[in-house]
Structure 1
């Protein structure tokens, strides 16, 4: 398998810096470049790599892989420039839209297109910038690799190996298939989250005081950078618009059914049908490591709001030899304690309850 040895990362935001950190932990030599000198200094300070200098551009020090992690509007131009600057390197990117970028690169650098292979790690955060970067950001996550008909086989191999070095699971697909997929699993959820969060702007303080974890789950990603998301949505406008029309039609039918109220038995069945369809959809989502989802049991523990309590809880569970499959924390504002939901395999419930009781934890089931 082709393995990158010298990598040049252009763009040291959240994604570029996270890739650099992931590669550094695997012993890959990484050089960094960014038009924002502050971001570059922070990434270097985090240990993500060495700033690019003129020496890197010498033939014997040229990279074998260039990773472009700049905003969507600049991707095509920067990728084309990298293909020209490093004639011996494969170039990939971290952009969340692929078809438009491929078309732009094809127009700008058709003679070097065989060395370009698109990529998109399906990981991220509502936070941005190098300080939000993590070396483990891609562990166990899907990484879409989108070769085109002119891509060299060895170029595809090195990009797929990049994903594996970062701890990700490779999913190969075309640019068009990718854009249809991310419209469904990423872009429409972002719009939906933002729309729901926008309703909060006119809510009273009394209404917001009742907000629980469900609302926070739905609106968390609405905190993403509006400028970045405007570029992403514009670049994938067609697939996103089609799904939004479908979602809007479903919401309209639910609203009409609710307006009919209790006077219509049909209205109740219609609302329930949409709710049940949502349950079916959630159950189709992949489980851990992309495998078929398993059914876990949730055990709720009362967590005092004091420093070190969460670490103590995890330590007590770990000492009992129990693996936590998932965790959720629900903490109401002003309350002296929170609720931690520990998802475990059904066979682990009894020993977990015994361990929690032995260590004095208050458990609610």
Structure 2
């Protein structure tokens, strides 16, 4: 059985490291220009080079998005950027526009190219077109069913990638003009303001200033607000479809999100490939995906056309059951003390959970804490404050401390 690549989002260098350490086979990221997530941290050229080097040090891959739909004024700086990516030995660039594709072929002809989901590939003929042009991979449109994907797989030999987890766009494969109209921020040039998540009212043409609520219930309605995609229960079908890469959305999501989602899908994919006959979805995997910030989950278009059940009409807010409160920077096995960077207020007496790459989670109560000068403290209230804490089990660098929201609110 062919094991698919697990591809993780990387909004900055820390998220890149976390995603790879928690089990991703590859990451996708963007520089400060030419990507469709202009409001994530993104990478300076120096950070981008370090990110690629870190991925390669683990024998993993790093892809860079160059998937805006550029206007003329975007083009002069593009050739030098392409050369830089080639010199950094990125494993592929992700492209949506034919003009960008042409420029890459001219400037860096050996640089592998992946075709972005923004290119709207919904049928085998369009995928075959890209295959004949010599691209390495096509990222399929989110609007395809699993049956559609199977047909495409039978018709082409090129690598196929598809989204399996994360936010869904209300517009066809991200081709959206709403942000441009409402805010003058072009979604197709990386500046989406996400107006699909806003609460809307109705205004009649001859009654300006009079707002009529569009009501699903007393909370109003969010008429463009999709649920989040989650295909964890369908790993066998996805692998059997012949997809080469499983993509997780979320370059603007948190470190906690990236680590948790990747760890869950890593375990599920490995478990199915190892023993498909006895594979089953573990309850703890599904519980993990409730701990991160998310909207209610849906299987999207994979098994049926989207209906009103795939939308959220009452709110655009997220839900989660656990808060990310600390990141382990180092651990001394002799003293069993971990040095931790605070990410949320925590104090002595709280029960916490520790998640770390490649190991089971465990719980413990915080019995004592010390500042970096080894003075006893009862709380760590300051953002990114460094402190020490005795652990009941050995932990590794990049282990994460979490606290249940309801018990410790």
Alignment TM-score, normalising by the size of structure 2 = 0.29
Higher relative contact order by CA 8 Å / sep ≥ 6: 1 or 2? 2
Greater share of residues in strand: 2
More helix per residue: 1 or 2?
1
